[in-house]
Amino acid sequence: MEGNQRGLSAGQEAMWFVHRWAPDSAAYNITLAFRVRTPASAPLDVPILRRAVAELAGRHEVLRSTFAEERAGPVRLAGQVDLVGLDVREVPGAGDAELHDLVAEAGSAPFRLTEEAPLRVVLLRRAPDDAVLVVVTHHIVSDRTSQWLIMRDLLDAYLGLAETGRPAWRPLKATFDDHVAAERRMLASPQRAELEERWSRLCAGAPAAELPADRPRPVRQTFGGATHRVAFPADLDRRLRERAERAGVTPFVQLLGVFQALLHRYGGQPEFLIGCPVATRFGGAMRDVVGYLVNTVALRASFTPDTTFAQAVESARRQMRDAVGVARYPFALVPGVLGLPRAQDRPPVFQIAATMVATSRLEPLLDLLADDAAAELDYGGLRLSIVDVAHMEGQLDLSVELRRSSNSLTAVLRYNTDLFERETIERLGDHFLLLARAAVDDPGARVGAVSLMTDDELRGLLRLGQGAAGP
């Protein structure tokens, strides 16, 4: 390769294919936005923030790159720092609703990966002491953790430059290229055949989980999507954590078992596959590295008419244990291992996924990502609060992202709008809460024996009955 050319990971190559397939889609844009307020006497310094963006681009090469298709395949082209800039947009007097729309607009513009950097930094300045800082990346160079790292590094650079003239960072111990090299070594080793065999056994004979759709699936995936959020009541969140502790599992495994039970009740499938994104930051050296450092593993659920909630949770525990064993093998190569043809109407292997972001276990800045709009953090004199906008919609039929902060639990349901009406997903969210409560009320109860009629649905049915019996 030439001096500025870099190889891609298998996941990046798959992402490149998707981008070329749908270059105008924003389904793989990742958006993170913080409202930033400062004392009136010390407004946000835009020139210093602009320098901080340049320092950020210098620290993480993947953020100042473009992509190209060469004869041997796609490559990343490392660019100069000035490929990334700060876009300042003055919006004096903008209300909260308008600011939210402006953040969504910044996050929904597609990236031209052959021409521009896969990083967009926008400052929506309502007043000198009140602005929204928006960071948008393409998934080909980022993931959920990387997005937080980018925002953290940007803020730390700003604070360091303002105080000492240098970014307040710890040195990087690795780069994304180290990850690519490690993956290629694994794929050239005997471990590859072993992992491919394990993937084959894991998926053999199991169909993808399916939900009854409101409309036929289009012949070509459009990546149209929307988001519905489900807030878990505090008492249910507490009881779920207590139940998970008694069962000797993590809160995610507890909820995963319930989510799979919900899919079984909706689709009626005795056995099915769903996906679960997992981090591929193997080793402490990768802790601060920005890049596409996530892989997807398959979870194989199995139900009988007698399966209890406790058994569903124990099954989820075993599934996660087995998934760890195949996490090093790039999911992008799995369809080829399984002999699956590339389909235009859906992603391969599975179309439903679940993951969890346990924000309270990481650094304080990340705790703002729990959808609590009232939360505010003092970060070196900057008062930060989240501006939460929908993003990464339409990739799958349905994905559930469980977000846990220090004081809340939220399920973020992203769904394919070609297939589902919003009312369908809202009802599914209500039934998720219903089954979660049933699982802690009586873990020994059979999954199939619990009524899926919520209190609101029951009251509506009774009202219909009373109307039919009236004069």
Residue 341, phi then psi, degrees to nearest 5: -70, 155
List Cα–Cα distances, 448 to 264, 435, 438, in angstroms. 9, 10, 11
What pLDDT does 408 receive? 85
Q: Kindly state whether residue 84 falls inside one of the protein's structural domains.
A: yes
What pLDDT does 306 receive? 98
Query: Of 141, 169, 197, which closes a domain?
Result: 169
Nearest to 325 by CA among 290, 300, 307, 302: 300
Task: Please check whether residues 164 and 193 belong to one and the same domain.
Answer: no
pLDDT tens digits, one per residue of 70-100: 988 999 999 999 999 999 999 998 999 999 9
Residue 357, phi then psi, degrees to nearest 5: -115, 105
Give me the domain span that covers residue 232: 189-361+393-469
| Mean of pLDDT values over 340-363 | 83
**Degrees (nearest 5) of the Cα angle 429, 458, 421?**
35
CA dist., res. 176 & res. 63, Å (int): 11
Residue 106 belongs to a domain with what CATH number?
3.30.559.10
Amino acid occupying residue 358 = A
For residue 425, name the pLDDT band (cuts at 50, 70, 90).
very high
Q: Which of 70-79, 138-147, 268-277, 390-399 has the lowest mean pLDDT?
A: 390-399
Which range of 190-199, 400-409, 455-464 scores highest in mean pLDDT? It is 190-199
For residue 357, name the pLDDT band (cuts at 50, 70, 90).
confident
What pLDDT does 390 receive? 82
What pLDDT does 360 receive? 47
Task: Please check whether residues 308 and 443 belong to one and the same domain.
Answer: yes
**Does 465 have pLDDT greater than 70?**
no
Nearest to 208 by CA among 344, 347, 323: 347
Higher pLDDT, 438 or 454: 438
What pLDDT does 376 receive? 86
Task: Please check whether residues 74 and 31 belong to one and the same domain.
Answer: yes
What pLDDT does 470 receive? 45
Task: Please check whether residues 292 and 419 belong to one and the same domain.
Answer: yes
- Structural domain count, the chain: 2
**Degrees (nearest 5) of the Cα angle 437, 441, 445?**
100
Q: Kindly state whether residue 381 falls inside one of the protein's structural domains.
A: no
What pLDDT does 35 receive? 96
What pLDDT does 419 receive? 98
For residue 185, name the pLDDT band (cuts at 50, 70, 90).
very high
**Does 361 have pLDDT greater than 70?**
no
Task: Please check whether residues 94 and 147 belong to one and the same domain.
Answer: yes
Q: Kindly state whether residue 434 falls inside one of the protein's structural domains.
A: yes
CA dist., res. 448 & res. 232, Å (int): 22
pLDDT tens digits, one per residue of 290-305: 999 999 999 999 999 9
Which long-range contacts (C-beta less than 8 Å, at least 24 apart) are formed by 183-191? 183/9, 183/10, 183/330, 184/7, 186/328, 186/329, 187/10, 187/330, 191/328
Q: Kindly state whether residue 184 falls inside one of the protein's structural domains.
A: no
Indicate the average pLDDT of the chain: 93
The label of the residue with tokens 């730390």 reads 156
Task: Please check whether residues 161 and 228 belong to one and the same domain.
Answer: no
Evaluate whether 237 touches 438 at the Cβ level (below 8 Å). Answer: no
Task: Please check whether residues 308 and 351 belong to one and the same domain.
Answer: yes
What pLDDT does 469 receive? 46
What pLDDT does 455 receive? 77
Query: Of 169, 198, 215, which closes a domain?
Result: 169
Q: Which of 45-59, 212-226, 373-387 has the lowest mean pLDDT?
A: 373-387
For residue 60, name the pLDDT band (cuts at 50, 70, 90).
very high
Task: Please check whether residues 240 and 316 belong to one and the same domain.
Answer: yes
What pLDDT does 343 receive? 86
Percent of the chain with pLDDT over 90: 83
Query: Of 138, 169, 200, which closes a domain?
Result: 169
List Cα–Cα distances, 433 to 179, 369, 381, in angstroms. 39, 21, 39
Task: Please check whether residues 32 and 103 belong to one and the same domain.
Answer: yes
CA dist., res. 349 & res. 337, Å (int): 11
What pLDDT does 460 receive? 67
What pLDDT does 359 receive? 60
394 token code pair: 């339409």
Cβ neighbours around 93 below 10 Å, total: 7
Residue 422 belongs to a domain with what CATH number?
3.30.559.30
Task: Please check whether residues 244 and 150 belong to one and the same domain.
Answer: no
Q: Kindly state whether residue 92 falls inside one of the protein's structural domains.
A: yes
Instruction: Tell the burial category of 62 from Cβ atoms under 10 Å away from its Cβ (0-12, 13-18, 19+).
Output: buried
Task: Please check whether residues 298 and 164 belong to one and the same domain.
Answer: no
pTM for the whole structure: 0.92
List Cα–Cα distances, 125 to 154, 258, 347, in angstroms. 17, 43, 39
Evaluate whether 263 touches 209 at the Cβ level (below 8 Å). Answer: yes
| Mean of pLDDT values over 390-411 | 89
Task: Please check whether residues 125 and 223 belong to one and the same domain.
Answer: no
What pLDDT does 293 receive? 96
Amino acid occupying residue 451 = S
Percent of the chain with pLDDT over 70: 94
Evaluate whether 219 touches 325 at the Cβ level (below 8 Å). Answer: no
Q: Kindly state whether residue 379 falls inside one of the protein's structural domains.
A: no
Q: Kindly state whether residue 180 falls inside one of the protein's structural domains.
A: no
For residue 249, name the pLDDT band (cuts at 50, 70, 90).
very high
Q: Kindly state whether residue 43 falls inside one of the protein's structural domains.
A: yes
pLDDT tens digits, one per residue of 254-279: 999 999 999 999 999 999 999 999 99
**Does 152 have pLDDT greater than 50?**
yes
| Mean of pLDDT values over 346-370 | 77
